[in-house]
Amino acid sequence: MSSIAQWIQDRIPVSPHVIREMSNEPVPYHMKHWWFALGGTPAYLFVVQIITGILLSFYYEASTGSAYASVQYITDQAAFGWYIRSVHKWAATLMIAAVVLHQMRVYFTGAYRRPREMSWMVGMALLLTTLGLGFTGYSLVFEQLSFWGATVGANMTDSVPVVGSLLKNMMLAGETYNPRTLSRFFILHAAVLPVTMVGLIILHIVIIRLQGVTEFWFKGEEPQNVGKGKFDFFPDHFYTELTLGLVLMILLSTLATIFPATMGPQADPLTTPEVIKPEWFFYVVFRWLKLFPGTFAILSTGFVIFTMFTWPFIDAQIRRRTRFQEASVWIGILGVLAIVALTLWEAFVAH
């Protein structure tokens, strides 16, 4: 052992064997396939968001008078500001995409089933936190569409029976969008939601470590054919994640360079834009809201989210009480098709 390692060992008396044991969880063989590594992708992108977010917050001013100008400064003048902002914007999009893909994989393989229901529910909480980060982040730019997007979002919240008004007040720090709203969004975006996210990610990983991941044996990959049926997390799986991370970084840089983040017109509370649009990941909800009356649309959206949260238990009941053992797959296919259709519909109609 080198003197430096010994020095550290003296002060942090944890055996290297323990560390190796902790970091070298045996990984099921199926995770050699890269699409089973998508769970690590949002975590990687979250780190990108934290780093770029900290850099952006050096310049960002959360006040209605100066927010737009500060984002404009970041975009036009601050060194590498346009790049950092563009990476932040694209990483958000990719993060949501990765979360959805990861969730689809977990769902269709039934990996949420007992005893991993908690892991699924924490995952759902992570999805909602990610969407919350997207919503508050978009609002911070204080351009016309983000301002009106936030206003529409608040009004939607108002449609929730009983607590809607309270929720809206909590969201906007008042009855309507006011000078305190933006700082509230900023604190939510830069402190409350990221800390929540970190806590949920830790919980997610702890549950995975305690329960282990679901094991799949594809044809020809049964344990008897591939040795123990497991491989070491480090370095094998770590390298897979690292490769994915590097590919993502290249993708992010390419997107940020070719399609840099732009600035729309500054928010004008007195002029309602002809077309109000939220960020793309809310298109599905937005289109749903346009299709049905306010309260029904909100309640049905809430119902869908609740159903998704508790799906492991609902699925268990369906499997126990009916003969539709694969009902979840068909429901899932319909759900994904509906989400894609509503998103595309909104995207095309708005143009």
Partner 1 sequence: MTLETKRWVIGGLGALFLVSLIMVQWLETARRAEEAGLRPASVSAPASSVACVDCHAQANPGIVDHWTGSSHAEKGVGCVECHTATAAEPDAYLHYGETIATVVTPLDCARCHVDEAAEFAASHHSKAGNILASLDNYLAETVEGSREDFNPHSPTPGRAFDMVNGNASAQSGCKQCHGGKVALQSTDGSVITVDDLQPDENGIPTNQAVLATIVKDDKGQPLYDPGTWPNTGIGRLNLDGSAGSCTACHSRHDFSPRRARQPENCGKCHLGPDHPQKEIFEESKHGIAYRDLKDDMNLDAVDWVLGVDYSAAPTCATCHMSGNMRNGGKVTHDPGERISWTNRPPVSVAMDTDANHAIVKSTDEDERRALTVDSWEDKRNRMKDVCSHCHSPNYVNGFYEQYDSFVQLYNEKFGKPGQAIVAALAEHGARTPTQFDEEIEWTWFYLWHHEGRRARHGASMMAPDYTHWHGMYEVAERFYMELIPQAREMADHRGGSAGAAVHRVINDILARPEHAWFEEGAAEQSERIRQEMERRYGQGSERRDGAE
Q: Which is nearer to partner 1, 50 or 131 (CB)?
A: 131
DSSP string, 68-104: HHHHHHHHHTSTTHHHHHHHHHHHHHHHHHHHHHHHH
Residue 126 CB, nearest approach to partner 1 (Å): 18
Q: What CA–CA distance (Å, rounded) separates 129 from 101?
A: 16
Using the rule CB under 8 A, is 216 a contact of partner 1? Answer: yes
Find the part of the chain contacting partner 1 (CB under 8 A) among 44-52, 115-123, 162-170, 339-347.
339-347
CA quadruple 303, 308, 312, 317: dihedral positive or negative?
A: positive
Residue 212 CB, nearest approach to partner 1 (Å): 18
**Residues recorded for the chain:** 351
Residue 54 CB, nearest approach to partner 1 (Å): 24
Q: Which residues, 88 to 107, sit near partner 1 by CB under 8 A?
A: 93, 97, 100-101, 104-105
E-assigned strand segments in 225-299 = 230-232
Looking at the DSSP bridge assignments, the partners of residue 28 are 230
Using the rule CB under 8 A, is 274 a contact of partner 1? Answer: yes
Using the rule CB under 8 A, is 246 a contact of partner 1? Answer: no
Residue 59 CB, nearest approach to partner 1 (Å): 19
Residue 124 CB, nearest approach to partner 1 (Å): 18
- Among 24, 57, 109, 310, which residue sits at the site for partner 1 (rule: CB under 8 A)? 109
Output the CA angle 3-8-10, nearest 5 degrees: 90
Q: Are 240 and 34 in contact (CB under 8 A)?
A: yes
The conformational region for residue 173 under phi > 0 = left, psi -120 to 50 = alpha, else beta, is left
Q: Which is nearer to partner 1, 263 or 316 (CB)?
A: 263
DSSP class of 111: T
- Measuring CA to CA, which residue among 94, 68, 83 is closest to residue 259? 83
Residues at the contact surface with partner 1, assessed by CB under 8 A? 35, 93, 97, 100-101, 104-105, 108-109, 145, 216-219, 259, 261-265, 274, 277, 280, 283, 326, 329, 332-333, 336-337, 340, 343-344, 347-348, 350-351
